[in-house]
Amino acid sequence: MEKKRILLGITGGIAAYKSATIASKLTQLGMDVRTIMTKAATEFITPLTLQTLTRNPVAIDTFDERDPSRVMHIDLADHADLVLVAPATANIIGKMANGLADDMLSTAILATEAPIVLAPAMNVHMYQNAIVQENMKKLASQGVQYIEPGEGQLACGYVGKGRLAEPEDIVTWVQSFFAHKHLLSGKTVLITAGPTIEAIDPVRYLSNHSSGKMGYALASAALSAGAKVILVSGPVSLTPPNGAEIIQVKSAQEMYDAVLSHIDNVDIVMKAAAVSDYRPKEVLSQKRKKHSDNWEIELIKNPDIAYEVGKRKRAGQLLIGFAAETENIERYAREKLEKKNMDFIVANNVLQEGAGFSIDTNAVSVYGKDGLISAYPVMPKRTLAEKLIKWVGEQL
């Protein structure tokens, strides 16, 4: 943990007093902790306390520029390996979700490219408020992570969820975050994502509802874990993660060719794409006009990418498939795993609320050759991707 650079944001809630313990423990671990406090936070704990514990000055006022050679909020934003806001009030969450920057902390957060984790702390009804939850969901979809608040007696007198996580748990989370960044160091991961499209004529095609969000989240998580990532993507409306090698494809045949051309040079294959099983036998060169009420299209089978990868898989290479089902989830997933020589398969029920296509959440079960390994409830796809990548790293 030595030399890891933490930007600690402290906002105005009674739980701010716990931030002193967080800052102290992180500093004792050898981390370089820089602190930004909101003016409201200084009503609960003094900047001098944080300065003494971290041995670094505390930033509060956006316009308190002490060094003419640098802009402080940009310098702090660039300095961080991780931005930790603890406690994170409903106010800072709302600002972040809407791109507001009216103080030192919100400005630095908007300027940073470092990962961000929030440790919320507020009244139980504030935490459950639909707007707060929507803001949190919005931030999660953009990669912001959370350290869940605890349940119990709150300072306001209510009992419920909203207590800041214990300082020891927050520090443990930070340690795990940096340990996770090296889980896949030296490994190359090939991930397929999104749908494929099969042309019928120059203006029509067959496809499916896949948005690519799960595959892209896996690619981001694998990059964060230190892997080299090759992302073979069907047509999606997503921004590719920085650092990944992107191979854009359209049809199942193009995806098949791209995957097999790289299979010998990767350690892990994660087949998260929703590949079209069939394609039209004949692709018309001109747009078909409405000549009749019926139009029969003969379909032929596409090459099975996962099956071919399973045949060619070498010792030590992991093949992880994905199965989107609507019934008999375990039976179909395990049949697919056996037939295609996969090591593991991640299955979900696309009819389950919160687990279908084109949304930001998912719920999955992971199966191996001996059956169910683990089940993950509905959560943001980015969070799920991090958990799956961490699990994959542990398998290696």
18 is in an annotated binding site: no
Structure tokens of 335?
């049949």
Amino acid identity, residue 160? Answer: G
The order of strands in the sheet holding 5-10 is 58-59, 32-37, 5-10, 82-88, 116-120, 145-146
Nearest to 367 by CA among 327, 335, 325: 335
Q: Three-state SS for 86? A: strand
How many Å apart are CA 190 and CA 196, to the nearest integer?
A: 17
Q: Is 336 annotated to bind ligand?
A: yes
In angstroms, the CA 268 to CA 324 distance is 20
CA 274, CA 389: separation in Å to the nearest integer?
19
> Is 277 annotated for ligand binding?
yes
Contact 190, 218 (CB under 8 A): no
Catalytic residue among 48, 74, 131, 156, which?
Answer: 156
Annotated binding-site residue? 340:
yes
Three-state DSSP state, 326: coil
The amino acid at residue 134 is E
Residue 156 is a catalytic residue: yes
Beta bridge partners of 230: 190, 245
322 labeled part of a ligand binding site:
yes
Cα of 257 vs its chain's centroid, Å: 28
Q: What DSSP designation does 186 have?
A: T
Residue ranges of the binding site for CTP: 277, 287, 322, 336, 340
Residue ranges of the binding site: 277, 287, 322, 336, 340
Q: Any idea which residues carry the catalytic annotation?
A: 156
